[in-house]
Amino acid sequence: MSRWLAEVVAVAAKDLRAELRTRVALNALALFALTTLAAVSYTIGPFRLAEEDRPFLLAVLLWIVILFAALAGLDRSFVKEEESRTAPLLRLAAAPSVVWAGKLVYNLCLIVVLTAMLTPLFCVLMGFEVALPWRFAVLLAAGGLGLAVITTIIAAIIAQAMTRGALFSVLSLPLLLPLVIFLIQGTTAVSTGDLETYRNSLRAVLSMTGVMTIASAWLFPLVWRD
Amino acid sequence: MSDRISISFTGIAKRYDARVVFRSVSGEAGPGEALVITGPNGAGKSTLLAILCGLVRPTRGEVRHLGAGGEAIERDGWRRHLGVVAPSMALYDELTAIENLRFFARVRGLDRDDGALGGLLESVGLEPARRTPVRGFSTGMAQRLKIAQALLHDPAVLLLDEPSSNLDPAGQDWLEGRVRGLVEEGRTVVLATNDRREMEWGRRHVALAG
């Protein structure tokens, strides 16, 4: 188990090191997130929404920005391996489970950076008030993990295809939408202080993430080898 | 080298949709032998090599990797004993030479410190460039690093696709000596080439018609 973990860390560290040197995915994520946030805060801002609608509408806007920023940058993990012809040697050197888990950790790191950068800015610029801050952090973490799990397996599938950009969004959205709906419910609840709805939403997000993790771990070797 | 492995393939055919690459190819190479695959451009030499290392499935036919006792090794286990050098397989441009070797050592579960990796780089003439990103390498230097990567885990089987390409004459001499030495040590070598000099590295030959 410790050897497997060391190999997973090696794959994730390799991708992070390469990303820090090129910043292709980070720039795509940051550019999309900041541009969208700037446009939303300029046109809507903190005061153009009715007080009673604000928790829900701001939760929708927050997760739309995170979702589409993730779609803009997270397909790179596998596409880059195929485009730069490094995938064959990786297939020969590493076990499929190691590659899947390593890429998942890498995508999770990118989402953590994205949400850590975006969420405080969003709260300040949009005047989004959070009544349950620690629970909001837990929900963001669970949502980030769910996004990473789904985008990792979809990125692996579309890396084999010719029309990658469009396919990533088309395949990801049906899987991500139910997750995002529960994340919006939960985020609305942490804003209004509705603990019961928060717990139900978090439970749904964790369940969906768990199911997708098991399905991805089972599916990935088939996608990666053939 | 811990294992002595043979490769045998029988009746291998490959087609992509309507295009037939080859129909029925057979051959074998045992420990201490080099098998040379030849054929004109487009005959499918690289495809056959990719089939032998398990990266591409044949349309028909069977590839078997056999251990010292003649027992078949499962496809999932092939990667442990294979070292591959091919033009279609690249290393990581953003990483340095030593970082590439360190990464491949770690994902193979090998315990190699930087001293050992530096020794390997020195053996392929890349020690002075150990901290240079591969992006800054010439094609010949990148080829030397690919060879180092293929030898990293002391593999029992080497699959080489035009391994001397892009190497200078001194590099070609070094590689020929190294491959002949590996064969004498009991490794199994399969070589796909059109180079007359490389064709002489092995006694067994398989010619693809094209």
User: A3 contacts in B (CB within 8 Å)?
Assistant: 109
Record: contact B95-A18, CB cut-off 8 A: yes
- According to DSSP, residue B96 is labeled B
Least CA distance to A7: which residue of chain B? B107
How many domains are contained in chain B? 1
The pLDDT > 90 percentage for chain A reads 70
The pLDDT > 70 percentage for chain A reads 97
Q: Which two tokens stand for residue B139?
A: 């094609």
10 Å CB burial of residue B44 (0-12, 13-18, 19+) is buried
C-beta of residue B208 within 8 angstroms of C-beta of residue B36: no
Q: Choose the closest CB to A10 out of B54, B79, B107.
A: B107
Residue A68: the pLDDT is 87
Q: Choose the closest CB to B89 out of A10, A11, A85.
A: A85
Comparing A20-34, A205-219, B180-194, the range with the smallest average pLDDT is: A20-34
In a domain, B1, yes or no: no
How many domains are contained in chain A? 1
Structural domain containing residue B124: 6-207
Residue A72: the pLDDT is 82
Best probe of the A interface among B49, B75, B103, by most A CBs < 10 A, is B103
In a domain, B164, yes or no: yes
Only one residue has tokens 């829900």, namely A56
Q: Choose the closest CB to B107 out of A21, A86, A93.
A: A93
C-beta of residue B98 within 8 angstroms of C-beta of residue B34: no
Best probe of the A interface among B80, B107, B131, by most A CBs < 10 A, is B107
10 Å CB burial of residue A49 (0-12, 13-18, 19+) is middle
Alpha-carbon distance of A144 to A141, in angstroms, equals 5
User: A88 contacts in B (CB within 8 Å)?
Assistant: 50, 55, 84, 86, 88-89
C-beta of residue A168 within 8 angstroms of C-beta of residue A158: yes
**Complete DSSP assignment for A150-202:** HHHHHHHHHTTSSSHHHHHHHHHHHHHHHHHHHHHHHHHHHHHT-HHHHHHHH
Contacts of B49 (CB under 8 A, 6+ apart): B37, B84, B86, B159, B161, B190, B192
Contacts of A78 (CB under 8 A, 6+ apart): A87, A103, A155, A156, A158, A159
- Å from A29 to nearest chain B CA? 20
Alpha-carbon distance of A57 to A52, in angstroms, equals 10
- According to DSSP, residue B22 is labeled E
Q: Which two tokens stand for residue B203?
A: 């006694």
Residue B131 belongs to a domain with what CATH number? 3.40.50.300
**pLDDT in tens for each of the 210 residues of chain B?**
557 899 999 999 999 888 889 999 999 999 999 999 999 998 999 999 999 999 999 999 999 999 988 899 988 788 889 999 999 999 999 999 999 999 999 999 998 898 999 999 999 999 999 999 999 999 999 999 999 999 999 999 999 999 998 899 999 999 999 999 999 999 999 999 999 999 999 989 999 986
Structural domain containing residue A195: 2-225
